[in-house]
């Protein structure tokens, strides 16, 4: 199995791309770059401009805000989608805690994909909405579990 086919398979389990068709995921995989990076590498740095979306294909990373670890992420996790949508600075640092393999979709290629595959924008919006609802539900559950 080829690396791009593997990436298309990984994208199927990524919430952001879960509503995309298999063809759309293959198109995204074809246009993404992959990189293998050693543990300790900062994949993105809090406060810096964001110009790419990342998907972890293999390995684990820590998400840090103000230097404090807030969570760990692994295979299928993605980050940077907000930065390629609004161009705002990164809201966290993501540091590889193991050797990682990531797929990277730069902002220019992302915009090209949106023009070439018109349905992709709608599918990504639906995926983002689903992730936002899930995050809100988790936050509401945390609030309930910590209430007196």
Q: How far apart are CA 74 and CA 79, in angstroms?
A: 11
Note the pLDDT of residue 10: 86
CATH class of 3-133: mainly beta
CA-atom Rg of the chain in angstroms? 16
SS3 55: strand
Runs of H (alpha helix) within 53-117? 81-86, 107-116
Burial class (CB in 10 A: 0-12, 13-18, 19+), 110: buried
What does the pLDDT profile of the chain (148 residues) look like in tens digits? Answer: 456 668 888 888 887 787 788 888 888 899 999 999 999 999 999 999 888 999 999 999 999 999 999 999 999 888 988 777 787 899 999 999 999 999 999 989 988 888 887 788 887 788 778 777 877 887 777 654 444 4
- How many other C-beta atoms lie within 10 A of the C-beta of residue 15? 15
Note the pLDDT of residue 46: 94
């Amino acid at each position: 199995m080829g690396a791009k086919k593997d990436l298309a398979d990984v994208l199927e389990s990524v919430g952001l791309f879960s509503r995309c068709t298999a063809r759309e995921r293959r198109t995204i995989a074809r246009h993404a770059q992959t990189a293998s990076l050693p543990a300790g590498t900062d994949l993105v740095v809090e406060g810096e401009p964001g110009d790419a979306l990342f998907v972890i294909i293999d390995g684990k990373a820590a998400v840090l805000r103000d230097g404090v670890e807030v969570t760990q992420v692994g295979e299928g996790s993605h980050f940077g989608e907000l930065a390629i949508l609004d161009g705002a600075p990164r809201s966290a640092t993501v540091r590889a805690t193991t050797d990682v393999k990531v797929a990277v979709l730069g902002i220019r290629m992302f915009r090209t994909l949106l023009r070439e595959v018109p349905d992709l924008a709608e599918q990504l919006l639906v995926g983002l909405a689903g992730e936002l609802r899930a995050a809100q539900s988790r936050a509401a559950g945390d609030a309930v579990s910590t209430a007196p």
